[in-house]
Amino acid sequence: MKLKFFLTLILCSISYCIINAQQASRPLYNFSIARSINSESHLPDTYILVDSLGNIYNNNKKLSQTLNIKTFSKAITTYVIKEKIDKIPGEEYEFKIEAPVTKPSKQTINITVQFLDDFKSETDLLTKTSYRWDAELDKDFRDYSLFKYLTKEEADILKSLLE
């Protein structure tokens, strides 16, 4: 009886570890940051996209820099889980979200994540499941919680693009 209990306990523990390991490394379909600052001295809005290969686009222009997509995907998955980022389920119809009007001396930021497994499994949906974080912050704020999950190199690249 004790042996059966311990074997069951060990099997459950192994299953739990496998499930958590899979969740900790969901491959990305894409990751984006959109930021708008309402300030006379600020340049136009910033839009950064990282695709499923690790290519980086800044305002729709492909950069020569790339990210290691495996480590980046793992970091973004951890960010989504630990920061409890809002999940927006996929829909059969397309919907548009209007960008908020940024107040003077403020910035609005939107971080959107789409995972490859969601994208592949939702072939019948027009809008795929995504995870979003939005905030209105002081225009000089730069310490986004996302950066604590990234490697120093990844964080430095994204920070430089947001400057």
pLDDT digits 0-9 by tens, 88-137: 998 877 766 666 677 778 888 999 999 999 989 988 888 889 999 999 88
- List the domain boundaries for the chain: 26-162
- What average pLDDT does this structure show over 38-60? 85
pLDDT tens-digit readout, 90-104:
887 776 666 667 777
pLDDT at 75 over 60: yes
Tokens, residue 37:
């600052």
Stretch (H or E) spanning 58: strand 55-58
Tokens representing 83? 């920061």
Q: How many helices (H) and strands (E) does the chain have?
A: 4, 7
Q: Where are the alpha helices (DSSP H) in the chain?
A: 2-23, 69-82, 116-121, 152-162
Distance CA 163, CA 37 (A): 11
